[in-house]
Structure 1
Amino acid sequence: MSSYILGLDLGTTSVKAVLLERKSRAVIASQSLPSASDVADCSGLQAKEQDTIRIIDCLNRCIGLLPRDKLQHVDRIGVSGQMHGVLFWKAKSGCDWSSGNFFTAHDTSRLITWQDGRCSNKFLSSLPKPDSHLSVATGFGCATIFWYIKHRPEFLKDFTVAGTIHDYVVSMLCGLETCLMTPQNAASWGFYNTSTCLWNVDILKAAGFPLHLLPQCVPSAELAGQTCSDWHGIPAGTPVGAALGDFQCAVYSCLSAQTDAVLNISTSAQLTFAMPADFRPPDSPQPDSSTTFFPYFGSSYLAVAASLNGGNVLAAFVDTLAGWMKEFGVEVSEESLYEKMIGCALKQESSDLRVSPTILGERHDPFSLGQVTNISASNLSLGHVTRALCRGVVDNLTSMMPAERLRRAGVSRIVGSGSALARNQVLRQEVERAFMQSVIYGQNADSAVGVALVFCDRLGSAEDSCPERMPI
């Protein structure tokens, strides 16, 4: 009889669930639903929060759409999700299983997401320097907790546990009274040393950080526990993996060789490749560097150029065009505008117009703004502008991680992925012009599939015991 792994991804805008058949490693069922969980910001703080109850409701609905006869034969659950963010809850009462074979969120805060902007540069500069190769930015869990210590300390008194949204799901499924966190998520919080696998306890303690909110760390791709109750037909006692980062899982789903690099252009854009097994990151943050090193599996790392400007820049241009049309009294759908501008750009095979699309800045250069240069009377058509904008998105990414660096690292092939690349032929053309390596498509990065593959490949039988807990 076939057995299955349930892979879950709690993304920024949607929740996805897949069933992976263990023997064939094939996805036999998949469901995705928009979470519609954003909470309007009335604070004026550039806060980005989401309703936890809606996210968990979406998760339950998503799994409920999978074939129940196969859910009954799930023998492993893997969970990934949006990194950096933080959720607070109360131990022993963080959810309610009374409704039957699914849980609902209870006694939790809202999820403060990775997009949260309440930590200004001035505030961040007031924080202690981390003992880590990774800088701390707004939206990072530890930075957000520091913000609450200074501005709303009474808020933290209501909670005893903190973690990411996917850490919370694992904790609730397993009935844990604490949060177990992998290095992939801990590194995304800040103040975590990936070489020693330890939080910066002394630094945080000296700064008045509530150490009881630091999760307990376990190795990536290890088990966190077992389901404490039947869940949508999945039997109680099913092993559950400690939650993993959505970026690492997305890469895992399509990085098939050491000589591959993965280029993902969706809302934002990332270019990444695996570092050699003996690589060790710098001892301290390199805030001006456009390349960072994310922990992967074991002691390995990914070299990552993570741009804040990707498909969202093209979406902003479409939104601008729609706004102009509306001012002229013409209503045109954004989908129609997008198709039209891509069609015009396909007819315009090249352009001498230059667009720097960094309208959202970059983490290594937060004050960078977009620019349009080399303007002439002959290159302001929709085709010229769209072509130049697509090239600008790619050029910005290759300026962060040049093709020559990929060549020196032994990368011989680019795996192209992401919704923006999938729907935009002009963007694909510019990618193929920008890289000396061959570019392939069709292996779409998928965090839900990736986390299922991780626990298919990296763990043995369903009877595996839980790992020893690593000290804080």
Structure 2
Amino acid sequence: MAAGEGNLILGIDIGTTSVKVCLVDPNNKQVLSKQTKDTQANVPSDLGSEGNKQDVPKIISALNSCVSRLPKDQLKQVGRIGICGQMHGVMLWSNKEDKKAWDCIETYMGCRFEIPKENVSALYTWQDTRCERSFLDTLPVPQCHLPTYSGYGCATLFWITRNRPDKLERYNRAGTVQDFAVAMLCNLDHPIMSVQNAAGWGYFNTCVAEWNSDILQGASFPTHLLPHIVKSGAIAGTLDRPWYGIPSGTSVGAALGDLQCSVLATMQKPDDAVLNISTSAQLAYVMPPQFEPNIQCPAKIWDTVLSLGGQDCAVSSLRVVPTLLGERHVPEQNASILNVDPGTLGLGQVFQAVCSGLIENLYGMMPRQMLVASNIERIIGIGSALTRNKVLQKQVQEWYKLPVDFMSGGDAAMGAALAVVECQ
């Protein structure tokens, strides 16, 4: 079989806590095989709780492990690769001749990628809060529809430029971890980034698909680190060499955002909205084409709180604001508990109030009126934190008063595979 002529799609999702891969038959959009592995990649930050970093070699090791465990006969049939991953974060690497960011170790089934730790920075994730409001207020105003928040790639690079400038002397490339994976697979000299990930970095005008280069240069931002931009779904390159049986020359799509791919894998109709609650919580729906934006462990406590929280007697005036870490648009917002009295402190009542507070927080950012105005008729609920929690499900229904279906879905790896199929 010639390279790139296979009839299967490999989907990859490089998430915040794990890597997931799957092989999809594009003819019926069915998943044939899948693997997942926790990355255990978190590393201590010198900034304490304000920093959130991950070990890139561990992430790529998990990716190698997942792919290597897929059926060998199916890997030989892969004709395209789609990749997505955790959005907003940033990592730096070197592509200098004497300091390459990746090595290819030959195996009997093709190469395995290894990452010299000294040639890559840590991954500064979307959860990084080093860019406090006082720091963000010193940055130039972006020309884009999204404000810049802590954890966004450009904000983190601004912080590194001003506080760790020596780090920029060690590396000459930057991107999200999924962009790095694409560059590694295709042996790209310069990283390629889709408009989805670029929008998640800040300082990117989605209407014209360009970085705010003039604004960034005027603020002494290292613009030479910015990736080249392509449309979402575009092919970034081809597999540079065989990879666990996948032929060299196989097309690799530009990396996409995990949220978008989760929505793509879940939506059944244009008037569906998708609510995902897992590591984080998001509510999303697809805008029309003409739109332009201005460790699981046994714990019986869960059985108890789910039971008590679902009882009618648990309903009370107790109110919980659950934003312990704030929100991007209000990072200074703290968590709080209101209306506390001797009659509202039952375990079931507290749990019910926490669940209500979680959905109320989402509702404040995207209320029912916004969904209705966009002709949304149904919410599809996904994510383990939602599909396993009947109390949380009830709160979704009570707050939004729309038909809600809860299902196992949101497979971002599958969505990444489907995105490559649909854009051919």
Which TM-score band (shorter chain)?
A: over 0.9
- Identify the match of residue 390 of structure 2 among 415, 421, 425: 425
Q: Which residue pairs with 1:335 in the alignment?
A: 299
Q: Is the 8 A contact 1:348 1:384 kept in 2?
A: no
- 1:62 pairs with 2:72: no
Q: Which residue pairs with 1:351 in the alignment?
A: 316
Structure 1 consecutive aligned stretches of length 4 or more whose deviation exceeds 3 Å: 42-45
Distance 1:419 1:45 in 2: 26
- 1:83 pairs with 2:83: no
Matched AA of 1:105: I
Q: Which aligned pairs between 1:271-350 and structure 2 lie closer than 5 A?
A: 271-282=283-294, 335-348=299-312, 350=315
Q: Which residue pairs with 1:112 in the alignment?
A: 124
The alpha-carbon distance between structure 1 residues 204 and 189, as it changes in their structure 2 partners (threshold 3 A), is same
Q: Is the 8 A contact 1:221 1:241 kept in 2?
A: yes
SS in 2 for 1:79: strand
Number of equivalences: 410
Distance 1:415 1:142 in 2: 32
- Identify the match of residue 104 of structure 2 among 97, 101, 104: 97
Matched AA of 1:363: R
Q: Which residue pairs with 1:465 in the alignment?
A: none
- 1:393 pairs with 2:358: yes
Q: Extract unaligned runs of 5+ from structure 1.
A: 283-314, 316-332, 460-472
- 1:190 pairs with 2:202: yes
Cα deviation, residue 45, structure 1: 6.8
Distance 1:175 1:76 in 2: 16
Cα deviation, residue 277, structure 1: 2.4
Cα deviation, residue 250, structure 1: 0.9
Deviations 1:49-101 (A, max 9, x none): 11111111111011111111100000000010011111111125120013431
Q: Which aligned pairs between 1:35-50 and structure 2 lie closer than 5 A?
A: 35-44=39-48, 46-50=50-54
**Which shifted more, 253-262 or 14-23?**
253-262
- Identify the match of residue 371 of structure 2 among 384, 397, 406: 406
Q: Is the 8 A contact 2:24 2:414 kept in 1?
A: yes
The alpha-carbon distance between structure 1 residues 271 and 120, as it changes in their structure 2 partners (threshold 3 A), is same
Q: Which residue pairs with 2:211 in the alignment?
A: 199
Distance 2:81 2:269 in 1: 25
Distance 1:209 1:405 in 2: 36
Matched AA of 1:97: C
- 1:173 pairs with 2:138: no
Distance 1:373 1:126 in 2: 35
Q: Which residue pairs with 2:404 in the alignment?
A: 439
- 1:255 pairs with 2:259: no
Distance 2:356 2:19 in 1: 31
TM-score normalised over the length of structure 2: 0.93
Cα deviation, residue 411, structure 1: 0.8
Equivalent pairs: percent with the same residue? 43
Q: Is the 8 A contact 1:224 1:242 kept in 2?
A: yes
Distance 2:369 2:56 in 1: 44
**Which shifted more, 138-147 or 341-350?**
341-350
- 1:139 pairs with 2:151: yes
Q: Which residue pairs with 1:458 in the alignment?
A: 423
Matched AA of 1:447: A
Distance 2:62 2:286 in 1: 33
SS in 2 for 1:168: helix
- Identify the match of residue 21 of structure 1 among 25, 31, 37: 25
Q: Which residue pairs with 1:125 in the alignment?
A: 137
Matched AA of 2:214: D
The alpha-carbon distance between structure 1 residues 373 and 98, as it changes in their structure 2 partners (threshold 3 A), is closer
Q: Which residue pairs with 1:246 in the alignment?
A: 258
SS in 2 for 1:167: helix
SS in 2 for 1:75: strand
Cα deviation, residue 110, structure 1: 1.4
Deviations 1:408-442 (A, max 9, x none): 22111111111111111111122122222110122
Distance 2:37 2:292 in 1: 39
- 1:155 pairs with 2:119: no
Distance 1:436 1:337 in 2: 29
Q: Is the 8 A contact 2:43 2:54 kept in 1?
A: yes
Q: CA RMSD in A?
A: 1.7
